[in-house]
Structure 1
Amino acid sequence: MQLVPGVRRVGNDIVALHLIETPAGITMIDAGLPGHWPDLLAELAAMGRGIDDIRGVVLTHGDSDHIGIAERLRRDHGVPVYVHTADAARARGETTSHASGGSMRFGAVLGFAAYALRKGGVRARHLTEVVEVHDGETLPLPGAPQIIGLPGHSPGSVAVFVPSVDTVFVGDALTTRNVLTGAVGPQPAPFTDDPVEALRSLEALSALEAHHVVPGHGPPWSGSMADVIRQARA
């Protein structure tokens, strides 16, 4: 599904991964759940592309619903997987989050759990190798994605800014659809390690010349970075 020119989504508003399409190849942002593999193949086919066109996977953080098919791509197809050094251990399964989810609504939780189960969430494989990155790096991948540190949701949570598609991918630094309550609009994401730090970190987005915000959960949001930060903090 095309979100904006050059950006495609695999998955839905509950859990998704995203593809940046360029003539030089594809950069994947996050890796969803294991069951997204056939969905990825179908999306690539619709684009007239294949697995070999994927040049790299950039993880916004190392949680299980963002790493789903990353190890399969790395192991079977030699696709490098990039993650912030502070989340490398989490992506390898050496550490995990014990953060609380906060408020819940039965219908939203049931929908999230059912989708995650259907897409193999309990079978997520951790990475055995990663390429560690740091705040401020521009990666040697299609679209020249830029890493912006947004610690809080996890120690190595990042945004990935791709100027060529006017889009910043924020992972779980914020959400536009809370998977536990169903509430929509820019807001803090559940299961955040340090909610205060997460909100403070959003200031790093304020200077970006981007007009599209794409989270790991929820629909894309368009507008100024000042507006998305203000709404998330409200």
Structure 2
Amino acid sequence: MSVVHRLGDGLVNFYLVDTGEGLVLVDAGLPGHWTGFLADLDRLGIAPSDITDVLVTHGHPDHIGLAERLRTEAGARVHVHRAEAALVAAPLRPAADARPEKSIAGYALRRPSGLRTPLHLLRLGALRTRPVVEPVLFADGRLDDVPGRPLAVHTPGHTHGSTVFVFAEQAFTGDALVTRDEMVGHVGPTLLCRAFTNDGRAALESLRALESHDVATVHPGHGDPWTDGLPSAVRAAVAAGVR
């Protein structure tokens, strides 16, 4: 079974996966994570150039912050769903149809402490996020040329090309399914609120595509791992709905 190292800072997660065949990074944090990322790799006895592939669940700045740097400085291939190509090419200038459904303002009025997350992203350089140049584009299905041969499951809704990566016994859900949404104060499997989601109805429907993948552990983009299986996480998230 793959060995997973959770990286990031508690609010934003990304993951180093030792598949036994090679090292894969799932998502790539924010630009401000670089120093801590190097320290984590050093602690593990790993060089950046040992990471051959970066799998991007979606193109928001807190998921691609180090991707282009790893591509240009360490030679990693950066894999992106073809429906996400436009967003990773211009993460700070999303097209009108790629923007969130609702404004943050309404959520902040109801729960001002929820602003902790967007402010945290700004502090860690979200506005300095570099576009991904020359990504490796994929569609749904098995990624045979990536160590561990993960299954890419397209889960549109959070973004057009949102993707969940399923390895043996491990699922990396990005923001298609999280276990903490600071904006609304929810802890447990859920969708991110509409202030960060492009199409809540589609995101909810996409969860059903995951329920048939009976893997033990869910590694989300935000929140702690869920160890009661992906199907139970999906059921809990569907029950929570989208806010």
Considering the TM-score relative to the shorter chain, is it more than 0.5? yes
Q: Structure 2 matches for 1:175-194, cutoff 5 A?
A: 175-190=178-193, 191-194=196-199
Match of 2:46 in 1: 49
Mapped pair 1:95 → 2:94:
yes
Match of 2:32 in 1: 35
Match of 1:59 in 2: 56
Match of 2:174 in 1: 171
**Could you give the per-residue CA deviations for residues 162-202 of structure 1, whole angstroms, max 9, x where no partner exists?**
11xx1100111121110312311011113111111111111
State how far apart, in whole Å, the 1-side matches of 2:43 and 2:120 are.
23
Q: CA deviation at 1:118?
A: 2.8
Match of 1:131 in 2: 136
**Could you give the per-residue CA deviations for residues 64-110 of structure 1, whole angstroms, max 9, x where no partner exists?**
1111010111112221100000001101116343212563421231x
Match of 1:217 in 2: 222
State how far apart, in whole Å, the 1-side matches of 2:33 and 2:68 are.
13
Q: Structure 2 matches for 1:141-160, cutoff 5 A?
A: 141-160=146-165
Q: Among all aligned residue pairs of Structure 1 and Structure 2, give the percentage whose two residues are the same amino acid.
A: 39
Mapped pair 1:16 → 2:13:
yes
Verify the 8 A CA contact 1:20 1:142 in the aligned structure 2: no
Verify the 8 A CA contact 2:2 2:20 in the aligned structure 1: no
Q: CA deviation at 1:25?
A: 2.6
Letter in 2 for 1:13: G
Match of 1:112 in 2: 117
Counterpart secondary structure, 1:144: coil
Letter in 2 for 1:220: P
Counterpart secondary structure, 1:62: coil
- C-alpha change, 1:129 and 1:37, in structure 2 (3 Å) is same
Verify the 8 A CA contact 2:171 2:230 in the aligned structure 1: no
State how far apart, in whole Å, the 2-side matches of 1:182 and 1:39 are.
27
State how far apart, in whole Å, the 2-side matches of 1:86 and 1:5 are.
28
Letter in 2 for 1:95: P
Mapped pair 1:75 → 2:72:
yes
- C-alpha change, 1:119 and 1:213, in structure 2 (3 Å) is same
Letter in 2 for 1:107: S
State how far apart, in whole Å, the 2-side matches of 1:172 and 1:139 are.
24
Q: CA deviation at 1:5?
A: 6.5
TM-score after normalising by structure 1: 0.91
Letter in 1 for 2:67: A
Q: Structure 2 matches for 1:2-13, cutoff 5 A?
A: 6-13=3-10
Matched residues, number: 228
For residue 200 of structure 1, the aligned residue among 205, 220, 223 is 205
Verify the 8 A CA contact 1:85 1:134 in the aligned structure 2: yes
Root-mean-square deviation (CA, aligned residues, Å) is 1.8
